[in-house]
Amino acid sequence: MKKIQAIVKPFKLDDVKDALTEIGVKGMTISEVKGYGRQKGHTEIYRGAEYVVDFIPKVKIEIVVSADMVDLVVDTIRDTANTGKIGDGKIFVIPIERIVRVRTGEEDHDAI
């Protein structure tokens, strides 16, 4: 079991969600986050003065899948969220030790 945590551009969220649903991903958690990587922030203009805004809005998608799904999910996110421009985001794959479904008490693969 792995957690796939992807940071993507906000405008790509709908495309990524649709593509993941198509390959059989059942659920996901998303958060609106801010941050920067190599692209740094952006500049805003107020009364002629330019200000650098360090943290720019991104969306964080978290999905937990069984190990055999990992490559497909990662490839799908990568293909869908890619614009070719700097600031497209990153995908992290993180091991998961245990999963419990709150309603039924099912665990691990049954709970995904």
Partner 1 sequence: MISAADTAFILAAAGLVLLMTPGLALFYAGMVRSKNVLGTMMQSFFMIALISIEWVYLGYSMSFGPDVGGVIGDLSWFALSGVTTAPSADYATTIPQIVFMIYQCMFAIITPALITGAFAERVRFVPFLVFAFLWAVFVYNPVCHWVWGKGGWLGSMGVMDFAGGLVVHVTCGAAAFASILVIGPRRGFGKRSFIPHSLPLTFIGTGLLWFGWFGFNGGSALAADEVAATAFVATHLAGMAGMLMWVIVEWVVLRRATTLGAMSGAIAGLATITPAAGFVGPNSAIIIGCIAGLVCFGAVNLKVKLKLDDSLDVVGIHGVGGAVGTLCLGIFASTAVNPGGVDGLLAGNMAQLWKQAFGVVVVGGYTLIVSWILLKVVHITLGLRVSEEAEVGGVDYAEHSENAYNS
| Residue ranges in contact with partner 1 by CB under 8 A | 44-53
Please, what is the minimum distance in Å from the beta carbon of residue 51 to partner 1?
A: 4
Please, what is the minimum distance in Å from the beta carbon of residue 54 to partner 1?
A: 8
Please, what is the minimum distance in Å from the beta carbon of residue 41 to partner 1?
A: 9
Nearer to partner 1, 49 or 102 (CB): 49
Nearer to partner 1, 11 or 51 (CB): 51
What torsion, rounded to 10 degrees, do the Cα atoms 4, 5, 7, 9 define?
A: 50
Nearer to partner 1, 50 or 68 (CB): 50
Q: Residue 15's Cα: distance from chain center in Å?
A: 12
